[in-house]
Amino acid sequence: MSSFSKALGKIFGKHKKDEEEKEKETETIEVVAHHPDVESGKVYLKALPLRELADLDKIKDEVKAGNIVIIRVNSLARKSIEDVKRAVNELCEFADSIGGDIARLGEERVVLTPPSVRIWRQKPPMPTEQASTAA
């Protein structure tokens, strides 16, 4: 596991609601509604790079407009893991403040949703192991 992946794991571990959610390794998203304030009635799923901390304002504006944003953090991670931690912490606080949702998508992406969209989290099934028996 890369140091970047460990850093994201620690950040998201702080913002999960209960112990079960802390153990989740994979997450999927499901769009359940569109934002009522969007004039066109459409929600867009946008992939935006996070190259520097100044990009956070654009990301927040997209979510405030009712769009779902997948943030690619690998560009910033190559420069500074500390800046990635700061950015993700700021985005977590932003999601909490607007009633949105945020989750990690793999090693290099984070998804941020407006209040009208929730991220569905499902714990992956545990593999069943056969206990060895000594005869």
Q: For the chain, which domains are there?
A: 3-16+27-113 (3.30.110.150)
Beta carbons of 73 and 37 less than 8 angstroms apart: no
In this model, does residue 135 exceed pLDDT 60? Answer: no
Give the whole-number percent of the chain exceeding pLDDT 70. 65
* Tokens standing for residue 73: 């953090």
Q: Is 108 exposed, middle or buried (0-12, 13-18, 19+ CB in 10 A)?
A: middle
Instruction: Give the type of residue at 119.
Output: I
Residue 132 pLDDT: 59
Higher pLDDT, 82 or 135: 82
Q: Contact at 8 Å (CB) between 102 and 91?
A: yes
pLDDT of 39 over the 80 cut = no
How far, in Å, CA of 134 to CA of 46, rounded?
56
Give pLDDT, residue 4. 60
**Exposure on the CB side of residue 112, measured as CA atoms within 13 A:** 32
Residue 73: pLDDT band with limits 50, 70, 90: very high
Does the pLDDT at position 26 exceed 90?
no
Q: What pTM was computed for the model? A: 0.66
**Which CA distances in Å does 16 have to 26, 62, 102?**
14, 23, 10
Rounded to a whole number, what is the distance in angstroms from the first to the last CA of the chain? Answer: 39
Q: What is the pLDDT of residues 86-130, one digit of tens each?
A: 999 999 999 999 999 999 998 899 999 999 999 998 877 777 766
Q: For position 5, what pLDDT does the model report?
A: 64
Q: What is the pLDDT of residue 60?
A: 97
